[in-house]
């Protein structure tokens, strides 16, 4: 369960007011709870199993040999190390208002009616955007047979409710069943009850259908009708792990690192987030570096290095992540803001973030357009890069695009709002923009 936390302003010594840092944590949390409907679906699944035994027998592998792969898969991978966080494990404490996960910790919860019975895997750092972009598939954790499926239910739930979810139930042995719940509407596999699926095969997209507060996968396991926690740990009755590779209890990682043109916006559920990714800045702009973490632990450290276009290191700082009063955040972020006084050269800069022995890099271009009007002021054109293409912000008269050999490139433009247009379908590599606005000709270079 996540607790609400405001942005925390943390001034840093070097560069005085030219550099500040903030902790980032979105105010809402992912939760779900079992419902009578879901328990009824489990009964129907067992009824289907009994029927299928008579008309369509299947030779399953032995239960002792079954090990699960991770049931979500990043299909539209962008820059970064990962795409998910984990908010809740199975609750092993039968008492209400008291919880205990497999590791004897409290990374779970219960409600007045039910203990949390599954593993909640959510999309991070922008779950509604990632859901809208369909970046993540839900896949079969092991080879099995579909014994129940449901689709067509509303998938943008934000609160506990009595609505039905979209889900797939798989049988893996004579007694082992897995659930995949809260799937996106109309995303469930076209395969039907009785069809077999292979390990890693597509089942649906992550959504927020049913009794859910945000996009995530609820993964639940049953053995002979009895709930089974797939994790091995001291508070799971010495049960062996069902995972092919069990993740650490604190699966700590720096999962994304990129530059932005401001602080991220996490609007109320279910509105789509705006992480404000950017890679091109004009003289006078401030530059923000934003890092997103999974299972960030109190007093973890990140070393941040900034390199100039000439390759010189112009800044170095070690940030201690003070999460007090919390011992850890299952998901969070840190933002560093640099004022324009830091960027005395024009060209390509890069941030290097070192966390737990790994380094992630974020590059950006800084400076005036190469050709400017003789006027003191000039029209500000901003280019922002995202998964859909390159967004050109600002009004202009004409644009030409070239590759690194200065050969013209064809492109398509789609106007999103007044003064904002996006160029789609562009190839990887260096792209040179020549933008005409009034009596000015502006040049930009973007590397994808």
Local structure of 127: helix, strand or coil: helix
| Residue labelled with tokens 């497999």 | 102
Residues of the chain above pLDDT 90, percent: 59
Question: Are 23 and 333 within 8 A, CB to CB?
Answer: yes
Q: Per-residue DSSP letters for 136-173? A: EEEE-SSSEEEEEEE--S--B--S--SPPPPEEEEE-S
CA distances from 138 to 130, 215, 322 (A): 13, 12, 34
Neighbours of 118 (CB within 10 A): 27
Task: Please state whether beta strands 430-437 and 398-402 pair in parallel, antiparallel, or not at all (unpaired).
Answer: antiparallel
At residue 425, the pLDDT reads 54
Q: Is 429 left (phi over 0), alpha (psi -120 to 50) or beta?
A: left
pLDDT digits (tens, 9 = 90+) for 168-221: 999 999 889 999 999 999 999 999 999 999 999 999 999 999 999 999 999 999
Q: What residues pair up with 437 in beta bridges, in sequence order?
A: 440
Q: Give the chain's length.
A: 448
What's the pLDDT at 141? 98
Residue 46 confidence (pLDDT) above 70 = no
| 422 vs 276 pLDDT, higher one | 276
Q: Which residues contact 64 (CB under 8 A, 6 or more apart)?
A: none
Do residues 343 and 287 touch, judged by C-beta distance below 8 A? yes
Give the residue among 31, 28, 55, 34 at the shortest CA–CA distance from 167.
34
* Exposed e or buried b per residue across 376-391, where buried means at least 16 C-beta atoms within 10 angstroms of its C-beta: eebbebbbbbbeebbb
More confident residue, 188 or 63: 188
Q: What are phi and psi of 137, to 5 degrees?
A: -95, 145
Residue 337: pLDDT above 90? yes
Q: Are 272 and 264 in contact (CB under 8 A)?
A: no
Give the lowest-confidence range in 127-131, 235-239, 251-255, 398-402: 398-402
Pairing mode of beta strands 358-366, 72-74? unpaired
Q: What is the mean pLDDT of residues 411-428?
A: 61
Please state, in angstroms and rounded to a whole number, the distance separating the CA atoms of residues 234 and 29.
27
Question: Tokens 């996106």 sit at which residue?
Answer: 184
Backbone φ and ψ of 52, nearest 5°: -65, -30
Tokens, residue 163: 């609505």
pLDDT reported for residue 145: 95
**Does the pLDDT of residue 414 top 80, yes or no?**
no
The full set of domains in the chain, from first to last, is 1-26+252-368 (2.60.40.1930), 36-228 (2.70.70.10), 373-448 (2.60.40)
Question: Contact 282/330 with Cβ under 8 angstroms?
Answer: no
pLDDT, tens digit, 9 for 90 and up, residues 210-269: 999 999 999 999 999 899 999 999 999 889 999 999 999 999 999 999 999 999 999 999
> How many percent of the chain have pLDDT more than 70?
80
Q: Among 76-85, 235-244, 283-292, which is the least confidently predicted range?
A: 76-85
Q: What count of other Cβ atoms lies within 10 Å of the Cβ of residue 109? A: 20
296/332 Cα distance (integer angstroms): 7
- The C-alpha angle with vertex 333 and arms to 327 and 336, in degrees rounded to 5, equals 120
pLDDT given at position 374: 31
Give the rounded distance of the alpha carbon of 186 from its chain centre: 21
Q: What is the pLDDT of residue 51?
A: 73
How far apart CA 83 and CA 121 sit, in angstroms, is: 10
Looking at every residue in the chain, the average pLDDT score rounds to: 84
């Amino acid at each position: 369960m996540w607790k609400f936390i405001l942005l925390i302003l943390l001034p840093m010594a070097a560069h005085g007011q030219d550099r500040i840092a903030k902790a980032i944590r979105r105010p809402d949390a992912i939760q779900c709870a079992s419902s009578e409907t879901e328990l009824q679906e489990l009964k129907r699944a067992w009824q289907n199993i009994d029927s299928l035994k008579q008309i369509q027998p299947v030779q399953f592998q032995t239960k002792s040999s079954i090990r699960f792969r991770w049931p979500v898969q990043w299909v539209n991978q962008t820059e970064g190390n990962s795409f998910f966080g984990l908010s809740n494990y199975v609750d092993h404490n039968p008492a209400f208002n008291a919880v205990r996960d497999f590791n004897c910790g409290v990374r779970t919860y219960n409600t007045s009616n039910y203990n949390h019975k599954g593993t909640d895997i959510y999309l991070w750092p922008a779950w509604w955007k990632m859901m809208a972009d369909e970046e993540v598939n839900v896949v079969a954790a092991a080879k099995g047979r579909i014994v129940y499926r449901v689709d067509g239910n509303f998938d943008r739930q934000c609160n506990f409710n009595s609505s039905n979810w979209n889900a797939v139930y798989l049988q893996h042995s004579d007694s082992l069943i897995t659930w995949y719940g809260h799937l996106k509407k109309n995303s469930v596999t076209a395969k039907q009850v009785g069809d077999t699926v292979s390990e890693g095969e597509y089942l649906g997209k992550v959504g927020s259908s049913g009794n859910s507060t945000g996009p995530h996968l609820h993964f639940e396991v049953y053995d002979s009708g009895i709930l089974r926690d797939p994790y091995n740990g001291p508070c799971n009755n010495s049960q062996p792990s069902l995972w092919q590779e069990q993740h650490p209890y604190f699966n700590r990682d720096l999962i994304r690192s990129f530059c932005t043109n401001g602080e991220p916006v996490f609007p109320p559920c279910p509105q789509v987030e705006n992480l404000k990714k950017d890679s091109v800045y004009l003289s006078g702009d401030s530059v923000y570096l934003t890092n997103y973490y999974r299972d960030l632990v109190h007093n973890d450290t990140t070393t941040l290095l900034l390199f100039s276009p000439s390759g010189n290191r112009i800044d170095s700082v070690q940030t201690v992540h003070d999460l007090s009063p919390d011992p850890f955040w299952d998901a969070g972020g840190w933002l560093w803001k640099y004022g324009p006084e830091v960027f005395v050269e024009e060209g390509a800069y890069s941030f290097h973030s070192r966390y737990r022995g790994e380094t992630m890099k974020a590059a950006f271009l800084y400076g005036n357009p190469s050709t400017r009007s003789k006027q003191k002021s000039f029209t500000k054109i901003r280019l922002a890069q995202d998964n859909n293409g390159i967004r050109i912000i600002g009004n202009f008269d004409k644009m030409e695009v070239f590759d690194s050999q200065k050969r013209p490139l064809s492109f398509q433009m789609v106007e999103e709002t007044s003064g904002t247009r996006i160029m789609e379908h562009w190839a990887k590599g260096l792209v040179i923009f020549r933008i005409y606005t009034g009596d000015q000709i502006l040049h930009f270079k973007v590397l994808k």
